[in-house]
Amino acid sequence: MRYRDVMATALIMSLALAGAAGAKQGAVPVHADSNLTETADAFFKGQSTGGVVLVTRGDQVLLRRAYGLSDVENAVPMRPDSALRLASISKQFTAVAVLQLVQAGKLGLDSTLASLDPALAGPMAGVTVQQLLTHTSGIKNISGIAASRAARREDADATRLIGYFKDLPLEFAPGSQFRYSNSNYILLTHLIERLDGRPYPQYMQQAVFQPLGMSHTRYDNHLALIPRRAHGYRRVKGELQNADFISMSQPQGAGGLISTVDDLAIWHRALRDGRLVPPALFAQATGKTTLTNGRLSPYGFGWIIGQVGDLPDVEHGGFINGFNSYVVRVKAPDVFVAVLTNAEFMDPTNLSVRLAAIAAGRPYPAEDTTRKTDTSWTGRYVFADGGARVVLEKDDALQLQQEGDDPVALHPHRDGRHYLDGGLDSLEFGHDAQGRATITLHDRLMGDSIGVRANQSANAPKNAAATDSTGP
């Protein structure tokens, strides 16, 4: 896979008060507020568009701040309680709604589409609800269908949207691969409506948002008057523009919600406290998926399963016309981060993860500009799955290249690792038990993997530089 990071002041007084649950998490890291503020400030610096950032630990608010403009044309500042589109962050809400129907006995995770709706017979008849939730169905992504993209300005319902892909052949056997597809969550929207009898927006309002007190969360609609709704923007050839219009009936449960960071904090606490679904069922939703070949996919039910440093987390991003967003949840310590922006070109993924790391007391280390390039690690490294990476030297610096991709720069940091191209995936150099040079790739989502340098004999002498290159 390409290297990336997938594939983001105070709350109302009742939240700002640290309760018993927050106290159990231990003391907030020293200087957490200033470190968080500096990190967030740097991300938004120089931008006329903006966003809202919220960071909590336990029930204590560490940072709640708005940046830039909500409406650039009219110079309206962004507010901490501004409402922004969530895009694919909506999927976790849809997933929980499905789990509520599971609890009510209206469907099972192993129920097939054809058994729930005979109109869905055909290539995807045998796809299960769980395969929809985990993006392992093989159903083609509606976002990649030209006819659907051409009609994004038009109003549509789930049934009409399903018509774009229901008769297409599956792209792989269900359960055998992970491939992100908005079609899955459009189908889940349809099932919620069919089995409950209420339209998806009404179900979410009555079964989820109102019971939790999420008064600023709803299904988006361009005709509705939504208080403090932010405008969305894009950049074309360096020019800031209003985002292209999309009918918000198009995303359905795959990406149609709008909310505030305050409401997202309410959502986080409700999930944490088991208010919506039983802990055992929610644990399944936030665990990796086992594919039919035994490998793990880094996706649960509406959540990406990853790591913040060495701490397990669940997270998800959202991208839609004019908006880019990311949320991160760390279970222990109880850390929540939400970053919502009103610009397509402002990707808050790394910012969100860095903020979560600071709040958890495990900040990512700064770059080590004093370390000299050690070219003895250059070479081709082969991994257990047969893939290979090449470590290159260029202009007195190291690069890593996956075969078929462009090389990316490796930056040495103070923890002894090299981080990839300014991101949060990293590698360590070392040796195996036979003395062969190795690289250990630390991928936040896929976990660790080890490559052995090719064309070297066992019991090769260990490079003296290894002691300078191994991490803690």
**Region(s) of the chain under CATH 2.40.128:** 375-469
Note whether 439 and 392 are within 8 A (CB). no
Could you say which architecture CATH assigns to the domain 375-469? Beta Barrel (2.40)
d(CA 341, CA 230): 9
Token output for 294: 């035994």
Block residue for tokens 């922006």: 341
Token output for 231: 């405008």
Half-sphere exposure of 331 (CA within 13 A, CB side): 17
Helix (H) or strand (E) holding 189: helix 182-196
In angstroms, what CA-CA distances link 252 with 84, 86, 164, 182, 191? 16, 12, 14, 9, 12
d(CA 226, CA 82): 10
What is the structure's pLDDT at 5?
Answer: 34
Block residue for tokens 């665990």: 287
What is the structure's pLDDT at 155?
Answer: 94
Q: What is the pTM of this model?
A: 0.87
d(CA 26, CA 449): 33
Token output for 169: 């052949």
Q: pLDDT in tens for each of the 472 residues of the chain?
A: 333 333 333 322 222 223 333 333 334 444 457 899 999 999 999 999 999 999 999 999 999 999 999 999 999 999 999 999 999 999 999 999 999 999 999 999 999 999 999 999 999 999 999 999 999 999 999 999 999 999 999 999 999 999 999 999 999 999 999 999 999 999 999 999 999 999 999 999 999 999 999 999 999 999 999 999 999 999 999 999 999 999 999 999 999 999 999 999 999 999 999 999 988 899 999 999 999 999 999 999 999 999 999 899 999 999 999 999 999 999 999 999 999 999 999 999 999 999 999 999 999 998 888 888 888 999 999 999 888 999 999 988 999 998 788 999 999 999 989 999 878 999 999 999 999 999 999 999 888 999 999 987 554 444 433 333 333 2
What is the structure's pLDDT at 28?
Answer: 43
What is the structure's pLDDT at 379?
Answer: 94
Half-sphere exposure of 430 (CA within 13 A, CB side): 15
The residues, any chain, with a CB within 8 Å of residue 336's CB and separated by 6 or more, are 54, 55, 56, 57, 264, 265, 268, 327, 328, 329, 330
What is the structure's pLDDT at 457?
Answer: 57
Note whether 47 and 67 are within 8 A (CB). yes
d(CA 161, CA 171): 18
**Region(s) of the chain under CATH 3.40.710.10:** 1-364
d(CA 318, CA 340): 9
Block residue for tokens 């360590």: 428
Q: Which of 228, 213, 129 is nearest to 175 (CA)?
A: 129
What is the structure's pLDDT at 369?
Answer: 82
Token output for 270: 């409700």
Q: Does domain 1-364 have CATH number 3.40.710.10?
A: yes
d(CA 350, CA 358): 12
Token output for 434: 């036979």
Note whether 142 and 181 are within 8 A (CB). yes
Q: Which residues pair with 338 in a beta bridge?
A: 54, 327
How is residue 206 annotated by DSSP?
I
Q: Which of 424, 401, 396 is nearest to 313 (CA)?
A: 424
